[in-house]
A and B are shown apart, each in its own frame.
Chain A
Amino acid sequence: MSKANRFVGSPVERLEDLRLLRGRGRFVDDLTAEGVLNAVILRSPVAHGIIKGIDTSAALAIPGVVAVLTAEEIGRPVPTIPIRLFASKLTEPLEQPCIADRKVRYVGEPVVLVIAESQAIAEDACDAVVLDIETLPPVVTREAAEKGQSLLFDELGTNRCARFTAIKGDADDAFRNAAYRRRERFGVHRHTAVFMEGRGLLAEWFEEEGKLVVQGGAKVPFATRKALSKQMNLPEDKIEVHEADTGGGFGSRGEFYPEDFLIPFAARYVGKPIKWVEDRREHLACSNHSRETEVEAEIACDKNGMVLGLRGTAFVDSGAYVRTNGLINPRNVSQFMSGPYHVPNINIVTDFYLSNKGPVGTYRGPGRYETDYVRERLFDMAANDLGIDRVEFRRRNLVREDQMPYQLPQIVETKSGDELDSGNYEVTLDQCLAEFKWAEKVEKYDGKLIDGRYHGLGLHCFIEGGAAGPKENARLVLEKSGNVSVYVGSSQVGQGVVTVLTQIAADALEMPMDKIAIFHGSTTGTKEGFGSFHSRSTVMGGSAIVVAAASLQKLMREAAGRRFNCAPGEVTLEDGKAQGPGGKSLTFAELAEEDISIEESFFNHKHTWAYGTHATHIAVDPQTGQVEVLEYVAVEDVGRMVNPLTLGGQAVGAIVQGLGGTFLEHLIYDGEGQLLTGTFADYLLPTAGDFPRIRAIMTGNYPSPINPLGVKGAGEGGIIPVGGIMANAIASALRSFNVQPLELPLSPPRIWKLIDDARPAEAAE
C-alpha cells in the first residue's frame, strides 16, 4: 500500500460544488415528466376532531381538476407510516394513517388530495372542498397530555406512548449519601429542521411494466421502497426510489411522510406523473418537529466536585402520532445525559406523550441537544455552588482514556446499552482552552460590564454518536474505460458524501480520484442500502467501500493472473495497469473486457463517538436582553479525518443551526392547537450575517477501533452543545444578578425578564 492515504485526510474541495454552483443541480422542483400533473393537499384546519363529512363535488367541477381523493377513494384500512426505528407492538396502533380517516389529530394532517393540471387550480379546488369536522378538546400542553381527559387514541387509554428508563449503578443510594445535590427544571422548545428548498416528490407509474419510479426524498431510499411495497402491494423490484439533489436533510428530509405514499398512489390511480412540492407553511406545520422536552434533573457530587449521580424525569412531546424515528428523541434524552463524563449512578425516566401538534422525528443531534443542555447547566451550577472552577470540574469528571471502552447506562425497556469507543477527552478540552485563550478571557471579560453590556464565557464538553448498523453495502464495477464505478447505499443530504467517499475509494483502490465515480441514493445501485442518518455515511459507506475495494482488487488480480498465466499474488495493480512476471501488462480497460464487479457489505453493531469541547464569549445588553455572540471556538476529534474542509464546514454549519434553535426558532402553538409560526416572518431562521464569528478546529488523533478506516461519524454534532453553552455563558455574564436561564429559546424578552425580575423593585419601577 505504498500510495495509501493520498486523499484521506486531505483538504479536497467538494466535488459537488462545481455542478451546483453552475446551476446544474437537479433539485426536486427541477424534476418534471411528460404530462405531469400537480398535487395539492387540503390539510386539517383543526387540531383534534371527528370528520363528519367531506364534500368534494364543487372541487371536482372546477375545470382542470383531475382527481380529488380522500380516505374513501384510497381505501380502508388506510396505509400507515411504518416506524423505522424501535418499532413495537405497543406503538403500531399509533402510526399515522397516510390520509386522515374519521379522525384528525393535528393542524396540517392531510385530509384531501387534489390532482389538477396546475398547482393554482389544485389550490382553488382545495378552497372549494367543504369539510365538516366536529372538534374535540385539543391536547396542547404537557398538563393536558398527562391528565388524559382528552385522548388522541381512545383505545390506548392514555396519551403516554412510550417510556425510556436509563439505569446505571444505584442512583438513589448515591443521592442518599451525597455531600452535594441540586435539582432544577429545564425546558427545551419545539423547533425543527428547515432546508434550502421544500420537500417534494415526482412519482411516475409505468403501466406496461407495472413499475413505480419515485424521485425526490433523500436519506433512506431502501426503507422508503420497503414501505411503499407494502402500502401499494407492489413487489420491491417494481419500485425505484431515487434521490434528487438536496439543500440539506438534518434528519428530517427523506423520512417517510404521508405524501410519500399519497403522491405515488395518485400517480398509479390517475395513470399520469404527479409532482408535489411543499410550501413553507406546509413544512413548518407538517414536517417532523423536534426538541420539545421538559426535564426535572438532579445532580449529586462529593465535596470535591466528583459527580456521583444524575437522576430525573423527562417529558418529551411526540405530537399526534409516532413517526418513523420519533422514538429516538426520548430514548436519547435518557441514554446520553452523562455525555463524555464518568457518572457512576444514573436513573433517568423519559416519558413520550402524544399531543395534538405536528408529529416529531429526529433533528440533528436528536435528544442530545436537549440532554446536553440539562447536564452542562447542572455542571456549571454545581461547580459554582461548590466553589470549583467550571473547567476543573469538567476535567475531573471526563471519562479517561484508560476507562475506554466506557459503558453508558442500560435502557430498561429496550434492554440495550451502549459504550464509548475511544479517545482522550481531556486533550480536546485543553486544546479548546488554548485556542480560545480561555484563562486570559475569563480574567478580562467574564461577568464584567463593558460598554453597557455584560460579558460572559461558556464552555461545553460533548460527544456525538455515529455509525448506526446493521450494515452498509457498496458495489464496485470495473468499467470498460478502466475507471471504477462505486455504488453505495448512502445518501447525499448536502453533507458532501460524494467527495468523502471518492477520497476513500481512491485510496482503497490506489487510483486517482478522477477515475472513480460515486453513485448513491438510489435503490437501483446496490441490492440493499441503509442510507444516511446517525452520522453513518463516512463510517458505514466508507468502510463498505474499503471492504469491496479489497475484493475488487482480488478479482482484478485473478483476472490478470488468468490472462498472464501466473498466480494472482504475482500481479501488481499500479498506475492503471495490471502487471505480471516477465513484463506482462494490461491496462485496466483491457482487463475490463471481462466483467469484473463485486458487491460487499460492511457489518457493524457498535457506535463511534467523536467528541470535543466548545467555548464561547458573549455579551448581553441588559436593557434589551439581546445577546451577541462575540466569539465561538469548537474543537472536535473525529478519530481520523477524511476531509478537514467539508468536516470543518459542517461543524460551523451545525453551530449556526444550533444558534438559530437556541435564540430564534420556535414552533409556537396556541391553546387550540393552531400553529402561530407558520411563515418565515414568525419562524425566524439565522441568516448569514447573524452569527459571524465561529471557528471549528477538527482533529483526528484517536482513531476508532471499530472500523477499518478508524473514522468516526461527525459533522452532525456541532449543534449539540449550543443550547447549553449559550445558557451557561449568559448565566455567567449575568452573575451579578444571580439569575439562571432555564428555558429555551434565549430570546431577548426572556433574558430581559430574568434581569428585570432580579432588579430591586424601585429600580425596575
Chain B
Amino acid sequence: MKLPPFEYACPATLDEAIALLASRDGDAKAISGGQSLMPILAFRLASPSLLVDLKKLKGLDQIKIDASGITLGAKVSWRQIEDDKRLATAHPLLQEMISHVAHYQIRNRGTVGGSIAHADPAAEMPGFSVTCDAKIVVKGSSGERIIPAGEFFEGPLMTVLEADELITEIRLPPWPAARRWGMLEFARRRGDFAMGGVAVFYDLDAQGRAVDAHVGVIGAGSIPHRVPGAEAAINGTTVDETAILAAAKAAAAGVEPLTDIHASAAYRRNLISVLLERALRAAVAR
C-alpha cells in the first residue's frame, strides 16, 4: 500500500497548474485534500505520472455570501463549512449535508472541489450541488466555463471536466429564510458512504402551497440527480400526508439504483422512498 512512483509539482498560480495538467495529456492529476486520490494511489488503482498539488494556489478557499448567493472556493474544506456560523441561516441544508461527510479527520482535509471532481455517486457534495442548482466554475487552457451541476456528472467517477481543467468555485443561488427543507441519509455506520440519501426543499406561496420543490438523491444510481416526479408530487400541495406519500412513491419510481454487495436495487429503491417520506415530514415540522 505504498504509492507508485510519480513526479510532483507545486505551482504557485492557477495558470501554471493548468499548464502542468495540460502538459501530460491526461496523465497528470490535481491533488488538494487527497482524501480520495491518496487511497486510489495506495491501492495502485491509478498511476499518474505527475501530481499537481494545489496547496499554494491563492484565493480558492473562501466562502462568500451576498445577495446574489453563496460562492464556495474549490479548496474550501468541509470543516470550514461546518464552522461558518453565517451558513446556519444562509444555507442550513449545506451544513446539514456536510455533517454527514465521513469523519472529522477527513472533514479537516477534504475539499468541495475535490469531491465534485471525484464524482462518487454516493458522496454528499455532488448530490448537494445537483439538488441546489449549483453552477460549477471551471478553468482550463481554453478559458473559463460555467457548468450547471445537473450537466456536470456523467457516471460513477466521471464528469465533463477536461484533463486540463480545474474546478475553481461553486456558485449557489440565495436561500430564502422561510424555505422548508429536509435531508436524510442512511449508512450502516455513521460516516460511511450512504446506501442512499435524500435532500428536499421547497418554498411556500401565499396560500401555503409548495412551490419550486427540489428533490435530489445520492447513492441511488450512477450519478446524483433530481427526481422530477417527486418534485411534481410536492408542488402545489400543502405537503400533507397524502402529498408526502405520493412524493415518496414517485421517488421510488424515479430512481434506477444499482445492486451491489451491500444492497439490492429493490432495497435502495425502497430506501430512497422511505428517506424522502421522512425528510418531508421533517421539512413540514421545521
Contact = CB atoms under 8 A, between A and B. Distances in A.
Interface of A: 118-120, 123-124, 127, 279-281, 623-626, 664, 668, 676-677, 679, 681-682, 684, 686-687, 689-690, 747-749, 752-753, 756, 765
Contacts of A690: 189-190
Given A623-B270, A687-B189, A747-B262, 5 more contacts: A123-B1, A124-B4, A668-B261, A686-B189, A753-B266
A684 B267 contact: no
Contact of A127 (B4, B43, B249): B4
Contact of B5 (A124, A686, A756): A124
Contacts of A682: 261-262
Tell me whether chain B's interface is mostly helix, strand or loop, or mixed: loop
B192 A752 contact: no
Nearest to B268: A749
Nearest to A668: B261
B188 A120 contact: no
Contacts of A623: 270, 274
B188 A748 contact: yes
Contacts of B193: 681
Given A127-B4, A624-B186, A281 B43 contact: yes
A655 B261 CA distance: 25
B271 A624 contact: yes
B24 interface: no
Interface string B185-215: 0101110110100000000000000000000
Contact of A626 (B2, B186, B262): B186
A281 B267 contact: no
A661 to B, nearest CB: 14
Contacts of A686: 189
B261 A120 contact: no
A684 B264 contact: no
Contacts of A677: 261
Contacts, number: 62
- The winner among B4, B186, B249, B262 for most chain A CB atoms within 10 A is B262
B188 A684 contact: yes
B284 interface: no
Contacts of A747: 188, 262
A686 B190 CA distance: 11
A592 to B, nearest CB: 51
A338 to B, nearest CB: 35
Contacts of B274: 623-624
Interface size class on chain B is 20 to 34
Nearest to B270: A752
B261 A664 contact: no
B253 to A, nearest CB: 10
Contacts of B263: 748-749
A753 B3 contact: no
Given A626-B186, A668-B261, A684-B189, A279 B267 contact: no
B44 interface: yes
Nearest to B4: A124
Nearest to A750: B267
Interface in B143-200: 186, 188-190, 192-193, 195
Contacts of B264: 749, 753
A697 B262 CA distance: 35
Interface string B254-281: 0000000111101100110010000000
A281 B270 contact: no
A281 B189 contact: no
A698 B158 CA distance: 55
A122 to B, nearest CB: 8
A363 B3 CA distance: 32
A684 B192 contact: yes
29 contacts: A120-B3, A123-B1, A123-B4, A124-B4, A127-B44, A279-B1, A624-B186, A625-B267, A626-B186, A664-B188, A664-B189, A668-B261, A677-B261, A681-B193, A684-B189, A684-B192, A687-B189, A687-B190, A690-B190, A747-B188, A748-B186, A748-B263, A749-B262, A749-B263, A752-B267, A752-B270, A753-B267, A756-B266, A765-B249
B2 A119 contact: yes
Contacts of B192: 681, 684
A689 B2 contact: no
A668 B267 CA distance: 19
A215 B225 CA distance: 54
Nearest to B263: A749
A280 B189 CA distance: 19
Contacts of A756: 266, 270
Contacts of B188: 664, 684, 747-748
A281 B2 CA distance: 12
A677 B262 CA distance: 10
A749 B190 contact: no
A687 B266 CA distance: 28
Contacts of A753: 264, 266-267
Nearest to A40: B2
Contacts of B262: 682, 747, 749
A749 B4 CA distance: 38
A676 B189 CA distance: 19
A119 B1 CA distance: 9
Contact of B2 (A120, A664, A748, A749): A120
B190 A281 contact: no
A692 B92 CA distance: 30
